[in-house]
Chains A and B, each alone.
Chain A
Amino acid sequence: MALSATDLKRGGAASALLLPATLLVVVALVAPMLTLLRYSFNAYDPIMLMRETFTLENYARFFAEPYYHEVILTTLAVAFGASFGALLLGFPLAYFLARTKSRYKSLLVVLVVFPLLVGNVVRAAGWIALFGSQGILNVTLIKLGLIESPLEIMYTDWAVIIGTLSVVMPFMVLSLQSVIENVDFSVVDAALNLGASRFQAFRLVFLPLVMPGVTAGFALIFILCMNAYATPYLLGGPGYKMMAPALYEQISVISNWPFGSALAFILMATTVLATLVVTRVVRGKTV
């Protein structure tokens, strides 16, 4: 394809339009990342805090300490658990929202988005009030004589998984809904007309059509979960082992910027890798 003069001119105009966004990305994302990347090769010094050098020590520490293995595994488990849970629970809801002809549809969509209006810190605080060992639920159950000592609901893996799941649920539902709304359902009718059962039509026609969009939505939510900070901190307790709280602790409590930066890059690399693996697996299955 040859580019004509007008194409080039138009290309120039298009680049000009891209400039503000590009600048923003460079200033807000690339520059800080490069800085952190550089920090991650520096050394921690108890007095100077950070000493310029070039060492792989921070990365080595992560791989050497079993504690951090547990942190990354917990992070992966929580992120997968919460994203899969949100997918399983969100899919039927998104399907219903996409297909309903009810005039209350926009109201329903607002209800789905509503949790986003309550920040997750506020929400987590509410949960503590409700489910904590001194919370309303336990107090009531003890008073009723149904249990003797409070149930351990807060500060468990399940509390973190369910909490994270509920935070990402609106995003999951909205992204699945838009994917499903884009499907031309006459192809499902065509499958039924050709003798497919509802299940076959779903599996052989509908699923392959929504799978790319579902995978993209899942990846987005998975990334959000991998980087969750507030929910694990509040619902898992201060000592809960996940990457985002751990690296925040390094940077702002201990002021170990080099190790915190290394953790940040390990988290990022793991997220990218896991996302790629998941999308690959799904694609391999459908194509």
Chain B
Amino acid sequence: MAELVIRNLVKTYGDHRVVDTINLKAETAELVALLGPSGCGKTTLLRSIAGFVPISSGSIEIDGRDVSKLAPNKRNTGMVFQNYALFPHMSVAENVAFGLAMRKVPKSEIEKRVAHALDLVSLTDYAERRPRALSGGQQQRVAVARALVVNPDVFLLDEPLSNLDAKLRMSVGMQLRALQQKLGLTTVFVTHDQKEALMMADRLVIMRAGRVVQEGTAEHLYQEPATRFVADFLGHSNVLTGTPVEGGFRTDGGIKLPSASTDGPRVLAVRPENLLLGGETEGVETVLDATVETVTYLGSITEASLLLPGGERVVAHHQNRTGRELHLAVGDTIRVGWRTNATQLLIDDMSEAA
């Protein structure tokens, strides 16, 4: 196992900087999730670590050794491809044995290690089958076993759960995480599904247009997003556009709100669960009269979309504890409020791009 360090990595296709000056570190046994919208360069970054994409500049170090000029077969990474890329003309056991055979491991040891790897992913009974005769989940496990059996320094996964149905995704993801922790694998995991990332990763790296926008633990990113993009990408956030003014923030709709002061273009963000309704607004800094536009009862929470006096729309989540149920009807006027410390003034990195 080893540490992965990426410095100032750039990959350009023509004039297009698909990966733009990325710095990234994965500690030994750490699982880092690369998260970002489609086309932001996640796969390109992962494939450049594996050596399939020749990089334009920067360096990739595995265990202190610069591998960025090495051919893919000299890097000792273990990759699980999005479509699994199993060898269709070989049995499951032959697939798993392939990497060991390439490393000239003696036959008897290959047998032992293949058996062990298949056991790890509970596929012992399927050793002689062809990949085609396996379910999607089983194929995924073969791909995992095949990548792991060679003891890779870095384990690379490109959306390994995206070809599984929603029900399976959760349990396979948990198993994968358990395996990664058990074996202490340094892992980079690509996904555009935030649930997957939250469920599996030690650390999340949010990417956008080839750059890292922010990185940190799931909690850190959720509670202290650096920009509007991050707040919006991880969970939902109510965003009020406007300008910072003396002692607060004036929304474009003309409501003045108290908030920490900053300058420069900002938006005010409040998470739906931090919007307080009705009696809960007692004693909070901001209280407004809003009109209820839609109400959706979701069991543990009720989701309401509200129209603020300034014309903005926000979404509130009310926790339905016994005795605190909320009875809302469309068209009602209700007090909505929030604490200043539950709001964030975020850099607006969405309007310029749009």
Contact for A200 among B77, B78, B102, B150, CB less than 8 A: B102
CA distance A198 to B79 in the complex (A): 17
With A189-B52, A191-B98 as contacts: A196 and B73 at CB distance below 8 Å: yes
With A192-B71, A192-B73, A195-B102 as contacts: A186 and B89 at CB distance below 8 Å: no
Q: Which single residue of chain B is at the shortest CB-CB distance from A197?
A: B73
Query: Most chain-B Cβ atoms within 10 A of its Cβ — which of A192, A200, A204, A209?
Result: A192
List residues 52-92 of chain B with CB under 8 A from any CB of chain A.
52, 71-73, 76-79, 81, 83, 85-89
Return chain A residues, CB-CB under 8 Å to B85.
184, 186-187, 189-190
A195 touches B99 (CB 8 A): yes
Q: Which single residue of chain A is at the shortest CB-CB distance from B79?
A: A193
Give the A-B pair count, Cβ closer than 8 A: 61
CA distance A184 to B86 in the complex (A): 10
Please give the distance in Å from B134's CB to the nearest CB on chain A: 15
Return chain A residues, CB-CB under 8 Å to B72.
189, 192-193
Return chain B residues, CB-CB under 8 Å to A197.
73
Please give the distance in Å from A95's CB to the nearest CB on chain B: 18
A184 touches B83 (CB 8 A): yes
Dominant SS among interface residues on chain B = loop
Return chain A residues, CB-CB under 8 Å to B150.
194-195
A193 touches B102 (CB 8 A): no
Q: Does A205 contact B (CB under 8 A)?
A: yes
Q: Does B146 contact A (CB under 8 A)?
A: yes
With A191-B98, A193-B50, A194-B150 as contacts: A205 and B87 at CB distance below 8 Å: yes
Q: Does A135 contact B (CB under 8 A)?
A: no
Return chain B residues, CB-CB under 8 Å to A184.
83, 85
- Give the size category of B's interface with A: 20 to 34
Please give the distance in Å from A145's CB to the nearest CB on chain B: 53
Please give the distance in Å from B109's CB to the nearest CB on chain A: 15
Return chain A residues, CB-CB under 8 Å to B81.
186, 189-190
B50 touches A194 (CB 8 A): no
Q: Does B112 contact A (CB under 8 A)?
A: no
Q: Does B103 contact A (CB under 8 A)?
A: yes
A195 touches B79 (CB 8 A): no
Q: Does A85 contact B (CB under 8 A)?
A: no
CA distance A93 to B79 in the complex (A): 31
Query: Most chain-B Cβ atoms within 10 A of its Cβ — which of A190, A193, A196?
Result: A193
List residues 141-163 of chain B with CB under 8 A from any CB of chain A.
146-147, 150
Return chain A residues, CB-CB under 8 Å to B83.
184, 186
CA distance A205 to B73 in the complex (A): 15
Return chain B residues, CB-CB under 8 Å to A196.
73, 98, 102
CA distance A251 to B83 in the complex (A): 58
B87 touches A195 (CB 8 A): no
Q: Does A150 contact B (CB under 8 A)?
A: no
A187 touches B99 (CB 8 A): no
8 nearest A-B residue pairs (beta carbon): A194-B99, A195-B102, A186-B85, A190-B85, A192-B72, A193-B79, A208-B89, A187-B85
A190-B87, A195-B150, A204-B98 are known contacts; what are 14 more A-B pairs with Cβ within 8 Å? A184-B83, A187-B85, A187-B86, A187-B88, A190-B146, A192-B51, A192-B52, A192-B72, A192-B73, A193-B52, A195-B76, A195-B99, A196-B73, A208-B89
